[in-house]
Amino acid sequence: MSTGSFHLALVGAPNSGKTSLFNALTGSRQKVANYPGVTVERKAGVFVTPAGRNVSLVDLPGTYSLRGRSPDEEITRDVVLGRFPGEALPDLMLCVVDATNLRLAFRLVLELKRTGRPMMVVLNMFDIAQRRGVSVDIDKLSAELGVPVVTSVAVRKAGTEELLRRTDEFAARTPQPAQDNTWKTLSIAELKGLQREADRIIAATIRLPEKPDSLTTRVDAVVLHPVAGLLILALILFVMFQAVFSWAQPLMQLLSDAFAALGQLVNDVLPPGLLQSFLQNGVISGVGSVLVFLPQIIIIFLFILLLEDFGYMARAAFLMDRIMGGAGLHGRAFIPLLSSFACAIPGIMATRVIDNRRDRLTTILVAPLMTCSARIPVYTLIISAFIPATQIWGWVNLQGLVMFGLYAVGIASALGVSFLIKFFMWRDYAPAPFMLELPDYKLPRLKSIALGVYTRAKMFLYRAGTTILSMMVLIWFLASFPQPPAGAEGPAINYSLAAMIGHALEPLLAPLGFNWQIAVALIPGMAAREVAVAALGTVYAIEGGKEAADQIGQVLATQWSLPTALSLLAWYIFAPQCASTLAVIRRETGSTKWMVVTFVYMFALAYLASLLTYNVARMF
Amino acid sequence: MTDVSDPSSNRSRLLLGNARRGFVGIIRGIDVVEGRSSLSSSELESQLIEMGFVEGARVEILHEGAIGRDPIAVRVSGITIALRRREAQAVVVVPVTAEAVAVI
């Protein structure tokens, strides 16, 4: 919090375009989405106004009122009232109003006025409203509301000029005489009273066309159709997984060839010895085997961000509410769970939009069962080594189908576990209500999608450069020391610390068909699942020499039996192997207990699933 | 708490939660029966009002879910809201007549 800068806060209902305005003002790198309640984190940025004033801007979670129904809404209320520890009381609140959706927004404006804090109303998306035939008497509106009103078009250049000019004017007049805070939680009568007042103001100052967005209505007639809608949802998910597997393939091959060439270069240039082995087997083959999955991670995030920006995610929640309700999950849990396909961490954080504590906890507990992108490297490696790339029914790739199957098992187990949680823990509670705004469809902004994908890719590369690299160095060390005695027989790795650890764990994992090399790979995999692939790469590279480093997939195909491969796939559907996810569970539930519960139940499921898979597969 | 006590209006009185797709009506009030939802009646009423279910508003059922025609998507106060029939049972409506339309 820099002293001397002017504090602005964006307040508004979900979908009012706060986030796009935030981006327009700060140019910050974060996503704009359509799903109500996506703004779950504190988003802050700084910018300089045309008059040269330093402004710090905070984007508060969207809310329909100051009652604070969910953790998000409480944050907004507390910041606005200056009760939030460590957060500066805003010098000016920008109350963002979607100019196409005024009734609820104006009631919020009237409620915010009661806090006595300086505020300005921003009619956002004003261009869309005008195109739909909305006409506003701005001066009269400002007089009726008793606060300044400006219009803005966040997504257009220069669309925020007037807003900046008025902010400068306001800041130049500060300090303003303080007004009393008369806000307290509204009674139902007051709520109705404010709505009547808002409706009166709208009637007096705004002319509305009696025509809703007919395109959205027409699209929804198909997309929300009881049968067609579910088919479309299934098709979208299916295409997503086929894309992850087949579109990414050429790029992945390119990356993999590049790393192999780099390893070869090191091999040719450096004399044989520890340094050569460290660079080739530890760094290049380790990090490279994870980096090749960048194309797949980009594709899955691209899909999720596109669906969010289109406004489809809220529709998916509508379609899935009853189906998920059968498993004891809330319709709103669909978005966090779908985000968990990318990574459980944003997924678990997105559960803040679920206001009911029990529903939220159930969602958090099952979110790590959704197949996150970190499992893709493991799945891809094993599938491409053991499943033939044949086409079935002419157009479906068998490998893609197996991938789809793994995702399906993940989903089914998430539903099953939540059903059990509901049944055993919360049988006596009535289900929490499901009430969700379905925003009008919007064409995604290419720039915001690109920014979102870029941020995710950067995060992945950063992880590859830090966590994964350091794990790889550790694995290389364990696999290389101690060095075999002179004249020893067999691969050097057999004498290493890694082999000792692996052999020690082998009895525990042998019933699952895991050999000691897998046992070694599972340990660093605790930090992040994708590290296991890199660890396998290093272990087999040191064991098998240069050729093995090029193609660990081929090595696995000769070293493992099919039941072992299937067993490892089953293990990774459930394995709680991600330290960061466990840490986020602890933070979001506020207790170590739920973190331990998650770890134990997932570990037990993983062990049982692998045991079952291995023994069933061996019968064939 | 509610404005639906007028017995003469009972004939055309209907709960939004029982209406079918295509229904168009005017909201008469919120009448929460305790115990139907996990929320207290005042909390549910506040939430419904916040989402735009206020007296006099025009409401139309646009879509129904696949299982048990639940949840429903309704157009109210210029926005589309998805909600379950369980909660929509608290919304008292009258079907739109020519006379009612003139009031909007």
Q: Which A residues in the span 270-329 are in contact with B, Cβ-Cβ below 8 Å? A: 314, 317-319, 321-323, 326
Q: Give the model's pLDDT for residue A607.
A: 92
Residue at B3 is within a domain? no
What distance in Å separates residue A493's CA from the closest CA in chain B?
58
Residue at B20 is within a domain? yes
Please state the rounded mean pLDDT for residues A341-364.
Answer: 78
Mutation target to probe the A interface, by most A beta carbons within 10 A, among B45, B54, B74 is B54
Contact state of A104 with B46 under an 8 Å Cβ cutoff? no
The enclosing domain of B63 has a CATH number of 2.30.30.90
- Structure-derived torsion over alpha carbons of residues A128, A130, A133, A138, reported in degrees to the nearest 10: 130
Q: Give the model's pLDDT for residue A490.
A: 61
Q: Give the model's pLDDT for residue A74.
A: 81
Q: Give the model's pLDDT for residue A131.
A: 82
Bridge partners of residue A54, in order along the sequence: A48
Q: How confident is the model at residue A289 (pLDDT cuts 50, 70, 90)?
A: low
Tokens of A536: 């396998």
Residue at B2 is within a domain? no
What distance in Å separates residue B18's CA from the closest CA in chain A?
17
Q: How confident is the model at residue A544 (pLDDT cuts 50, 70, 90)?
A: low
Residue A471: pLDDT above 60? yes
Amino acid identity, position A466: T
Q: What is the ipTM of this complex?
A: 0.84
Please state the rounded mean pLDDT for residues A194-219.
Answer: 82
Please state the rounded mean pLDDT for residues A329-337.
Answer: 81
Interval B28-73: pLDDT, tens? 988 887 766 667 788 888 889 888 898 888 899 999 988 888 899 9
User: What mean pLDDT, rounded, does chain B reach?
Assistant: 79
Q: Give the model's pLDDT for residue A121.
A: 93
**Omega prior to B71 cis, within 30 of 0:** yes
Distance CA(A217)–CA(A219), nearest Å, equals 6
What count of residues does chain B have?
104
Instruction: Give how many domains chain B has, as a whole number.
Output: 1
Q: Give the model's pLDDT for residue A526.
A: 67
Residue at B1 is within a domain? no
Residue A542's CB is within 10 A of a number of other CB atoms, namely 25
Distance CA(A467)–CA(A395), nearest Å, equals 39
Distance CA(A468)–CA(A531), nearest Å, equals 6
Residue A492: pLDDT above 70? no
Tokens of A442: 């919007």
Distance CA(A155)–CA(A357), nearest Å, equals 36
Residue A528: pLDDT above 70? no
Chain A residue numbers with beta carbons less than 8 Å from the beta carbon of B67 are 322-323, 326
Please state the rounded mean pLDDT for residues A566-589.
Answer: 81
Contact state of A322 with B75 under an 8 Å Cβ cutoff? no
Residue at B26 is within a domain? yes
Residue at B6 is within a domain? no
Residue at B4 is within a domain? no
User: What mean pLDDT, rounded, does chain A reach?
Assistant: 81
Residue B24: pLDDT above 90? yes
Interval A29-41: pLDDT, tens? 454 433 333 334 6
Residue A267: pLDDT above 50? yes
Question: Which range marks the domain in which residue B83 is found?
Answer: 11-103
Q: What pTM does this model have?
A: 0.76
Distance CA(A159)–CA(A162), nearest Å, equals 8
Residue at B46 is within a domain? yes
